[in-house]
Amino acid sequence: MFKFVSILKDMTKKEQILEASEELFAEFGYTGTTVRHLAKKAGVNIAMISYYFGSKEQLFAELVEYRASFLRLKLQDIQKEITNPIEQIEKMVDVYIDRVMSQQNFHRILHRQISLQGSELNESIITILMKNVNEVRNIIEDGIKKKAFRDVDIEFVILTFFGAVAHFVNSSALTKKLLSIPGNKHINEYPEIQLRMKIFLIDLLKKYLISSNNNDKMLSN
């Protein structure tokens, strides 16, 4: 509790509410978290939550944007700062796995919520997440245009990338069982396994994305 209160001192009231909501949504889920709980956790009154967000639904959507925007900016930076498409893929995997591992509560909340069908909240969440998906799409499409990548099924590359990491993190117990890792710690507490996942995904994506001709050239250099 002391650690959480210390963190809140350096935040705006809005950020304070978002950080508190993430903890409660992770513990109780969206439906199990009330506005009263949120206000108490954030150390604000209910009227302030209404002032900043309007509703619990909008607060949840803004939490998703709050977290997702960090990755989106990182993906945009990769495209600006790195010209080599293969290096872009390597950096993309590195950044994304680090981010998911450091934000496991948020990603657990996110995937629990979007597994539900048909709500307006889910439509809002998917709209936000598609902004990040499109940044990944841009990286792959640019690699194809530069002839560094072959003409691939971009949508399934994206599904494979995000899906593999989501399962790896959100199914920690199963992941640990498969990898024969003992103990009760979450998978994010094993940096060597995190590195192993990065190496595997980079290798997998490169083998699929790089055409046989380009691959032969790379091996000969």
Burial class (CB within 10 angstroms; exposed 0-12, middle 13-18, buried 19+) of 33: buried
111-159: per-residue pLDDT in tens? 888 877 667 888 899 999 999 999 999 999 999 999 999 999 999 999 9
pLDDT at 114: 80
Q: CA-to-CA distance for 217 and 18, rounded, in angstroms?
A: 49
Confidence band, pLDDT 50/70/90 cuts, at residue 211: low
- Residues 70, 24 contacting (CB under 8 angstroms): no
29-61: per-residue pLDDT in tens? 888 999 999 999 999 999 999 999 999 999 999
| Owner of token pair 């209160």 | 5
Tokens representing residue 122 in the block? 């889910």
Phi-psi region of 29 (alpha: psi -120 to 50; beta: other; left: phi over 0): left
